[in-house]
């Protein structure tokens, strides 16, 4: 791994090749966000690097996925504005344009955190935590710091949850969430019922909006055809819409080529073989390093820190902790011991 060039990632980057070799496969599926980030990227929540995030899907496909995590209070603001559009109480007509403007101004005021790129396991553990808690407001989102404090990460595996930490965090977040919803509704209500609001609708697009349109013009093949159509029509009133669409849609979805039955069977066979090879490899590794893939406890992390400070080698630490040298390196990086 020392020869990695820390540039943007790709399917044939040194990191991708390292991961495929680690799993014993010759194919990997990477999300767009994974490809848009550096090879040395690590998740701000669980602190895992890309080689520790990549894992086999249920169908046996090796994949690396990163996703954008956001505060769902923004959806609450949209729903409240939509409610007032249909309400007889709305004396000041909140049309779609100025309604969108209002929610865009209100949302940053009430949200707890900005959009952030995290690994898919950290994003999924947010939903898993809410399901575990039971009756949780659909608009509540756990912040990146909160996820970091209740998730139990493992190498190349989905996260587990520290239920006690989760409950403590939720007890604190719940009260704040109720207040934020009330504040959000009050601000939108005042605008909808009497027109009291700060700020004006923009008279024209911003520089970043023109830049977004320029990106579509320069590389139309990378974007959704509907966006290209808007730009081709040279409709300047659509510049704001194009910008928002770029934020949410971004790149054009990959269209899977059609395959014959024999090709699908062959692909399925390769997936099964890859999965079997991975399971066989893991079983061999576990014969030597029994704790491979298991969560790290606080005591074990402290033992690793002490071993590092006493100048023990990676191989010595691997033998002590019964984990692979790669697993030891990954945990040391997370603990800032490199």
3-state class of 49 per DSSP? strand
DSSP sequence for 202-255: -SS--HHHHHHHHHHHH-GGGB-HHHHHHHHTT-GGGHHHHHHHHHHT-BPPPP
pLDDT (0 to 100) of residue 217: 73
DSSP sequence for 27-41: --EE-HHHHTSBTT-
Contact (CB, 8 A) for 24 and 277? yes
Contact (CB, 8 A) for 20 and 26? yes
Neighbours of 29 (CB within 10 A): 14
Partnered with residue 38 across adjacent β-strands are: 8
Those residues with Cβ within 8 angstroms of residue 240's Cβ, 6 or more apart along the chain or in another chain: 202, 205, 209
DSSP sequence for 93-160: ---HHHHHHHHHHHHHHH-SS--EEEEHHHHHHHHHHHHHH-S--TT----HHHHHHHEEEETTEEEE
In a structure prediction context, what are the per-residue pLDDT tens digits for the chain, which is 338 residues long?
A: 444 444 778 888 889 999 999 888 888 999 888 988 888 899 999 999 999 999 988 778 899 999 999 999 988 988 888 887 777 565 555 555 555 667 777 888 889 998 899 999 999 999 999 999 988 999 999 999 999 999 999 999 999 999 999 999 999 999 999 999 999 888 888 877 776 655 555 566 667 667 767 777 777 777 666 666 666 655 544 555 555 555 544 444 434 455 667 777 887 888 788 777 777 777 777 777 788 778 888 888 888 888 888 888 888 888 888 888 888 888 888 888 86
What is this structure's pTM? Answer: 0.58
Contact (CB, 8 A) for 158 and 52? no
**And the tokens for 3?**
């020869």
Q: How far is CA 259 from the centre of its chain?
A: 30
Partnered with residue 151 across adjacent β-strands are: 161
Domain positions in the chain: 69-200, 202-255
């Amino acid at each position: 791994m020392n020869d990695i060039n820390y540039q943007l990632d790709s399917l044939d980057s040194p990191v991708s090749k390292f991961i495929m070799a680690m799993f014993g496969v010759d194919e990997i599926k990477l999300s767009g966000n994974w490809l848009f980030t550096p090879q040395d990227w690590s998740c701000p929540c669980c602190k895992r690097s890309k080689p520790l995030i990549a894992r086999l899907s249920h169908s046996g496909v090796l994949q690396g996925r990163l996703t954008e995590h956001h505060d769902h209070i923004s959806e609450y603001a949209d729903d409240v504005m939509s409610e007032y559009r249909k309400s007889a109480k709305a004396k000041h007509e909140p049309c779609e344009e100025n309604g969108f403007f209002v929610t865009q101004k209100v949302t940053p005021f009430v949200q707890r955190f900005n959009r952030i790129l995290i690994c898919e396991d950290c994003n999924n553990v947010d939903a898993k935590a809410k399901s575990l808690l039971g009756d949780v407001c659909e608009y509540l989102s756990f912040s990146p710091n909160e996820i970091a404090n209740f998730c139990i990460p493992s190498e190349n595996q989905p996260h587990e949850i520290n239920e006690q930490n989760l409950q403590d965090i939720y007890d604190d977040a719940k009260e704040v969430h109720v207040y934020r919803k009330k504040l959000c509704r009050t601000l939108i209500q005042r605008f909808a019922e009497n027109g009291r609001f700060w700020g004006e609708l923009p008279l024209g697009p911003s520089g970043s909006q023109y830049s977004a349109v320029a990106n579509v013009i320069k590389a139309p093949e990378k974007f959704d055809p509907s966006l290209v159509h808007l730009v081709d029509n040279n409709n300047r009133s659509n510049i704001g819409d194009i910008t928002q669409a770029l934020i949410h849609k971004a790149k054009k979805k990959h269209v899977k080529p059609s395959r014959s039955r024999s090709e699908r069977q062959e692909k399925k066979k390769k997936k099964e073989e890859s999965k079997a090879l991975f399971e066989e490899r893991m079983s061999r590794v576990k014969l030597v390093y029994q704790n491979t893939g298991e969560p790290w406890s606080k005591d074990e992390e402290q033992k690793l820190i002490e071993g590092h400070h006493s100048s023990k080698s990676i191989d010595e630490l691997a033998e002590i902790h019964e984990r692979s040298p790669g697993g030891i390196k990954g945990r040391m990086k997370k603990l800032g011991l490199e």
